[in-house]
Structure 1
């Protein structure tokens, strides 16, 4: 388990806790290429490369949807967020997670986030967060295509829950002369065709008819999106920050308001929280 160390004192940034004060709340999106954080009442406060510096060179603690260096991730979070959170409070943290291999990711992320001394940690599938950011009607089947820097996911949501998912270890950072952009389009087409072929219901077809929802940094790349052959393809506004913005919407849920009321003492972090997939 990652050792916790006292936060650095930064004059003018740490506020003394008072009874009745609301605990801070933070949404996190730990991507392979970039880490983004959204603070309740403040908006986007971080959009930086996902790197840590334990020694001479930069180390990348998150690689293709997996946290490969938990300690490095914790050090990075402490460096980026430790001085931004008021002392004597425990933040509520909402964390996005990839759909596949999500259990291992959530366990690793939970250990890393402990460096922030959270009052509660709630995880939400990144695809669902994207849908929330777009304000989509989750009562109808929805296909989310998330084109990241090192990972591309195709996730089918039914009633807001993951019904089916595919992914490929290929993203925008891989596009070069050896790996042309068309390969990402071909990979997405293969994933959605596999979903359609294996689905014994009509939900995949219904989602395709509705139009896939496109997010991730790849949605800003015309050289990639022109290879996505979907008649009703829709792009989320500011697609590169959609996941963290959707996670932030969970901070507005009724359960989040209850957790964010600061206690008179400081109990150990729990896994209770607003609607989402908890780190159980």
Structure 2
């Protein structure tokens, strides 16, 4: 699969959508439109500072994030009608955090805002078959999520406040992988045991920036005793999936 910025959503679905897909991460903020491709891919921090605007998946400086989105998106998509916006959220996103994101997105003057969990978006972006149980492991900059999708719906998930930026002297890859394995075991011991077993037999989908590191893929496969498949361009998978939902929303507004 080619990179998101060089391929339009209409290549996958046959139609052109109108709107903006947004992925606000702890390290980078990205936005994409069907007409222009990847229009924003910048650090999620105020320009010229080291101050964080998002920490462990939570927006802590709404004004800074609004500035990043407003200045960059509007300069590239100005003069259009009010867009539909599809934004990704962490699986553990509560109503307060979701409200912060919706407030930030007001800078885009949206007609409609839809949210989708990053793990489901990543699965859609990887073009995974969601008819069967699927275990998605999303290793982001500061947050790692393990989620079971069954019948296309989020059945269970666990989050760990660790990510790629933590790797190094204080956090070896082996420890991060153990945290992922423990999250999987917790799901296995819950109400999702048989589905987790089926998902492990099928193989794990690895997404996020961590999927670009072969040592994570290798160690996770050994720890889980299952095949682990990194998504194509895994750091952009969630944004691609948000684009898929965007297309569905424009074609069938009442179905999303």
If the length of structure 2 is used for normalisation, what is the TM-score? 0.87
What 5-or-longer segments of structure 2 have no aligned partner? 1-15
Alignment partner, residue 45 of structure 2 = 51
Alignment partner, residue 128 of structure 2 = 136
Alignment partner, residue 71 of structure 2 = 79
Q: Structure 1's 274 and 116: CA in aligned 2 closer, same or farther, altered over 3 A?
A: farther
Alignment partner, residue 169 of structure 2 = 177
2: CA distance, partners of 1:200 / 1:257: 33
Q: Is the 8 A contact 1:122 1:274 kept in 2?
A: no
2: CA distance, partners of 1:118 / 1:274: 19
Pairwise CA distance, 1:76: 1.8
Larger radius of gyration: 1
Pairwise CA distance, 1:28: 0.5
Q: Structure 1's 88 and 245: CA in aligned 2 closer, same or farther, altered over 3 A?
A: closer
Identify the match of residue 190 of structure 1 among 182, 193, 198. 182
Q: Structure 1's 74 and 200: CA in aligned 2 closer, same or farther, altered over 3 A?
A: closer
Q: Which structure 1 residue ranges, 4+ long, deviate > 6 Å from structure 2? A: none
Specify which structure has the higher proportion of helix: 2
Alignment partner, residue 11 of structure 2 = none
Alignment partner, residue 231 of structure 1 = 226
Kindly tell me the number of residue pairs found equivalent between the two proteins: 238
Alignment partner, residue 13 of structure 2 = none
Matched residue of 2:35: which SS? coil
Alignment partner, residue 239 of structure 2 = 244
Deviations 1:21-70 (A, max 9, x none): x99411011000011111113222222111124xx734321110111122
Q: Is the 8 A contact 2:217 2:228 kept in 1?
A: no
Pairwise CA distance, 1:201: 4.8
Matched residue of 2:171: which SS? coil
2: CA distance, partners of 1:211 / 1:51: 35
2: CA distance, partners of 1:204 / 1:135: 20
Deviations 1:85-115 (A, max 9, x none): 2325211110011011243332111100101
If the length of structure 1 is used for normalisation, what is the TM-score? 0.80
Matched residue of 2:95: which SS? helix
Deviations 1:211-234 (A, max 9, x none): 111001101112322220242211
Identify the match of residue 214 of structure 2 among 202, 208, 222. 222
Q: Is the 8 A contact 2:24 2:30 kept in 1?
A: yes
RMSD: 1.9
